[in-house]
Amino acid sequence: RPRREVLFFPSQVTCTEALLQAPGRPPGPSGCPCSLPHCESSLSRLLRALLAARASLELCLFAFSSPQLGRAVQLLHQRGVRVRVITDCDYMALNGSQIGLLRKAGIQVRHDQDLGYMHHKFAIVDKKVLITGSLNWTTQAIQNNRENVLIMEDAAYVKLFLEEFERIWEEFNPT
């Protein structure tokens, strides 16, 4: 049965350490000592959907400053997933943006140069699952805003969004 899910935000603030521990590291003690709840939340579900990637991850994001989502993307890159990121140049320069860290880690990033915003907020996992909605990937939005994120295993939508990604990727080619 193809996946068809929606996450609403604000997300409960939960501990996501167990999800973000690098594979190969020995698993920590069964009980994490931190004081946050260790249940599922909209953020943990979003992280799980991303961390399921095995081959490729396309990100097309207006704003990306969430440390947890940044760590998830770096983990995938370390695991050999081909990660490509498109972002908006105005937001990229802001304090707290994850984009500089992703680039430093060797992840390919392209951004616009024009006046309009690159306002998409979508991800494509393994060319099979589309993740899209109103949520910018910032802690402010995750914890405080009313937002939605659809997670859809839908070949027709994936195809259309992948085409949009490739169009923008080529257009933002700096060379």
Q: Is 117 left (phi over 0), alpha (psi -120 to 50) or beta?
A: beta
CA distances from 47 to 15, 16, 131 (A): 12, 9, 11
Binder among 3, 4, 54, 103 for its own copies (CB under 8 A): 4
Among 121, 124, 125, 129, binds its own copies (CB under 8 A): 121
Stretch that binds Zn ion, among 28-36, 48-56, 134-142, 145-153 (CB under 5 A): 28-36
Please name every residue paired with 57 in a beta bridge, in sequence order, or none if there are none: 83, 125
Residue closer to its own copies by CB (options 17, 112) is 112
Catalytic residues: 119, 121, 126
Q: Does 157 bind its own copies (CB under 8 A)?
A: yes
The residue within the footprint of its own copies, chosen from 57, 72, 120, 151 (CB under 8 A), is 120
Q: For residue 105, how many C-alpha atoms fall within 13 Å in the half-sphere facing its CB?
A: 22
Check if the beta carbon of residue 25 is closer than 8 Å to that of residue 163.
Answer: no
Residue 137 touching its own copies (CB under 8 A): no
- Chain residues that interact with Zn ion, rule: CB under 5 A: 15, 32, 34
